């Protein structure tokens, strides 16, 4: 009788009721912008994103391998091990800001990010590339060259791009820490909405 009841329940539920049955895995790989810098981890946008997905009935697990101060070169060194360990369906790649702030060679930043995108694809993972901008005091020429790293890479490798992960945050002092570089707890709430807008279309096909 119990088996029959379960069968009938399945039979009469609307098609798609089990759309979120499959588990998917997301790897967030970034720097302090994703590592909840100087705020409680549970207030960071990655944890907020996990909570949001749970609320929306996505059986999705998120691994946050972000490290404050990380550069694209440092990230590249440890990226393969993170891919092998987590076997993600989607990689949210948020690196490059520290390269720019430290005046590193931009061609190296581009190559490092390109390698990580290709490594993700080789593992069968989709990539959501998170772009960042340099402060205007770095000069127009440099900031434009830095922005092109992300736009050109997204176009060349056909990956989805968040043009600026701090959109609506970086220019609002109420959403930033006193250092003017990192978002505060309120800013994290804006970031999670920005990220989820780009992530959801990538995530939903994995749960159908």
Q: Is 179 a known active-site residue?
A: yes
Catalytic annotation, pick one of 32, 34, 66, 120: 32
Kindly report the number of other CB atoms within 10 A of residue 22's CB atom. 13
> Per DSSP, which regions of 3-125 are E strands?
24-30, 60-64, 90-94
d(CA 123, CA 93): 15
d(CA 207, CA 68): 32
CB 83 within 8 A of CB 119: yes
Q: Is 196 a known active-site residue?
A: no
Q: Is 174 a known active-site residue?
A: no
Give the closest residue to 127 by CA, choosing from 90, 167, 72, 162.
Answer: 90
Please provide the size of the chain in residues.
Answer: 208
d(CA 116, CA 53): 25
What tokens were used for 84?
């092998």
Catalytic annotation, pick one of 72, 99, 133, 182: 182
Catalytic annotation, pick one of 84, 105, 174, 179: 179
Which active-site residues does the annotation give?
32, 179, 182
């Amino acid at each position: 009788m119990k088996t029959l009841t379960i069968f009938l329940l399945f039979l009469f539920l609307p098609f798609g009721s089990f759309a979120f049955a499959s588990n998917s895995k997301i790897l967030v790989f970034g720097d302090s912008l994703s590592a909840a810098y100087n705020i409680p981890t549970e207030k960071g946008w990655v944890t907020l994103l996990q909570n949001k997905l749970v609320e929306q009935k996505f059986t999705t697990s998120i691994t946050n391998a972000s490290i404050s101060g990380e550069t694209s070169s440092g990230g590249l060194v440890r990226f393969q091990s993170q891919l092998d360990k987590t076997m993600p369906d989607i990689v949210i790649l948020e690196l490059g800001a520290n390269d720019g702030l430290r005046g590193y060679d931009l061609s190296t930043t581009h190559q490092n990010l390109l390698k990580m995108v290709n490594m993700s694809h080789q593992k069968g993972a989709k990539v959501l590339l998170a772009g960042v901008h340099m402060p205007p005091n770095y000069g127009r020429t440099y900031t434009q060259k830095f922005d092109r790293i992300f736009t050109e890479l997204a176009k060349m490798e056909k990956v989805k791009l968040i043009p600026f992960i701090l959109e609506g945050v970086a220019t609002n002092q109420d959403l930033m820490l006193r250092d003017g570089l990192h978002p505060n707890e309120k800013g994290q709430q804006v970031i999670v909405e920005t990220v989820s807008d780009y992530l959801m279309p990538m995530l939903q096909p994995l749960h159908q």
